[in-house]
Structures are given as C-alpha cells and as structure tokens.
Amino acid sequence: MPHVPKPSQPAQPPTPPQHTAGESAQTVTPGADSRASDASRGQAVPLEALPSEALPDDAPQLDSTHDSTHDSMAAFDQESVDTASLPDIEHEFSMQELFDAELRQAIRSVPLKGDEEKLPRVEIQGAEGQHAALMRIDHPVKLRVRGSLGDYAFAYNAQTVIKVFGNVGHGVAEGMCSGSVRIRGHAGHGAGTAMTGGTLGIYGSAGDRAGGAMRGGGLFVRGNVGDDVGLGALAGTIVIGGDAGKNLGNPLSNVAVFIRGKAASLTPGVTEAPLRKKQEVQLGLLLISAGIRGDATDFRRIVPIAKLAAENAARGEVVPNWR
C-alpha cells in the first residue's frame, strides 16, 4: 500500500462548540470516475449543515484554559502536539489518496512487532468529515487520525487503540468490541451504541442516546450529554463529567451510570445514590483507562431503585449494624 509523504503543516484539530463533523470537503468511493469529486465514498459535511441539536446548547468549547484539576485533557494534549516529525510514526496513510477499503486493508497489513506492549503507530491524514470511516478494523495498532470524521466512525472495531484530533458525527464506535477510541472533540447522537467492550472516551460533549443499548465496555464523556443516555443499555459503564439532559438511566438495566454534574431529569424507576467503595474503584479504573485525571468521589451514581433496595438488603445481611 502506498505511503503518503508527510505534509509540512499537519492539520490542526478544529474545536467548534456545537457541531459534530469536519469541515466542508468531498471525497469519493470505489467505482467513481474521479477520486476528487464524487461523494459516494463519503462526503464531508459542512458545519452549517449539521443538526445543532446533536449537542446540548451549553456544550463547552475545548480550550486550553479549562481547569485541569480533575478532568483535564493534559495527558491527551501532551500527545496531541505535532508528532508528524517524530520517529515513532512508523506508517502514514491519507484518506484523500486511498479508498476506504484500501485504507482499512493498509492498516490491517501493518506488521506487528511481537511485543504486546509496543504497538505499531499509524498516522491517518486527510480526515474531512467522511462518513462510515475506518469501520471494522481488528488489528492491534495505535492509530492517530488528524481531522474530523462523519457518522459511524470506527463502528465494530476491535483491538485498535485510536485517537482522533477533531470531532465525529453520529454513532461513533457503534458496536465496538475491544480496544479504545478517544475523541479530542465533540460527538453527535448515539455515541457508543451497542458497545460490547473496550473504552470510548469523548473529551468534548455528546448528543442524545449516548451508550444506548450498551452490552459492555466503558463510555466516558468529559462534557455534557443529551437526552436518553443509556437507553436500552444492559451492561457496561457510562461516566458523565458534565450535565445530562432528560431521562438519564434505565430502570431495567445493569449498566453503571456515574455523573458529576446535574441531570435535567431521571428516567422513572431510577434514583441517585452515593458511591460505595466498590463503585469508586470501578470508576477510578475507567478514568485511568480513558486517560482522564479524575476523582471518583466527585461523582454520584444513577441506579435503578429496585437494584438499590436489593443492594441495601444484601448489605444488611452481610454487614449487620451491630451496636
């Protein structure tokens, strides 16, 4: 697969406060007569054309002045400096030069080192809002994407460790099985839908139905989220560093939901409860996995009322309140 020479000025990550995909541009698909004009491979979406309701109205901007005491992106930003000239970038491909199938095959063809602790590093340039990008990659490499992507980025991926220096659209990491995806930007609706494993970290805000139908894995959103977070989720962990919209939680699920801010409303049948030691450990591990500095004691958990009652009953039997 062809390697693309590194540009002298790598793309910088855009940080708009209320949009979820990249800047205006077009790419093409296999079968097109031209690789520069047809939109069948995935069309970059103009920012003004994106639904503003994909994010809460008060979605915070990503800026370097944000208080880093608890939930900073310092660890992420330390690696977000221009690394194009560093020797650890072993492979580099461009989304403007390769069709999506070619790009995925090129990533899968990257040779492994035989050391599970030292994954090959791959740099992806030319991300400009393409939809359905980099899906179904099952290869243990470290992948950096420069720019924003459209809907369903990284869906059904496994093993790959991914960082995106930009925004993503709807359905990011849908059905992800393992590995990790970290977004240095905002995400649209349905982030982490139907995840079964792995870690999805969003360092901006996310839209509605984040973590919907989750079956496992961990979802961390540093900023605010929209409505119906955790809708239909059965297992896994959801962490919200900011505020949530309406109908947070699911009374019929076993998903662990933690929130530091406020929720507009809880789903009927769930309640807030303080963290116990077990939940503090669980949350602390997820924060570490997501590369976040955070104090688990700042969060509260959203738990089904029936589950909380069962926990209290069991705790009374195991740890009786002796006087």
**Residue range 23-32: mean pLDDT, rounded:** 33
Residue 116's pLDDT band (boundaries 50, 70, 90)?
Answer: low
The per-residue pLDDT for range 162-177, each reduced to its tens digit, is 999 999 999 999 999 9
C-alpha angle 211/64/66, rounded to 5°? 65
Share of the chain above pLDDT 70, in %: 68
* Domain span including residue 150: 47-318
Average pLDDT in the chain: 77
**What pLDDT score was predicted for residue 277?**
87
| 151 within some domain | yes
Residue scoring higher pLDDT (115 or 60): 115
Share of the chain above pLDDT 90, in %: 56
| 276 within some domain | yes
| 304 within some domain | yes
| 2 within some domain | no
Q: Which of 27-41, 70-84, 102-116, 222-236 has the lowest mean pLDDT?
A: 27-41
Q: For residue 225, what is the domain's CATH number?
A: 2.160.20
Helix (H, G, I), strand (E, B) or coil at 124: strand
**What pLDDT score was predicted for residue 107?**
95
Q: Could you give the CA distance from residue 224 to residue 239 in angstroms, rounded to a whole number?
A: 11
| Residue 145: its H or E element | strand 142-148
**What pLDDT score was predicted for residue 89?**
80
Amino acid identity, residue 125?
Answer: Q
The per-residue pLDDT for range 287-316, each reduced to its tens digit, is 777 667 778 888 999 999 998 998 888 765
Q: Name the domain count of the chain.
A: 1
Burial class (CB in 10 A: 0-12, 13-18, 19+), 151: buried
Match 């099985």 to its residue by tokens: 177
Q: Which of 42-46, 130-134, 157-161, 174-178 has the lowest mean pLDDT?
A: 42-46
| 39 within some domain | no
* 1-37 core/surface letters (b: 16 or more CB in 10 A; e: else): eeebeeeeebbebbbbbbbbbbbebbbbbeeeeeeee
| 19 within some domain | no
| 35 within some domain | no
Nearest to 263 by CA among 237, 302, 298: 302
Return phi, psi of residue 298, to 5°. Answer: -75, -10
The per-residue pLDDT for range 49-104, each reduced to its tens digit, is 333 445 555 555 554 333 433 444 444 444 444 343 444 688 999 999 999 999 99
| 26 within some domain | no
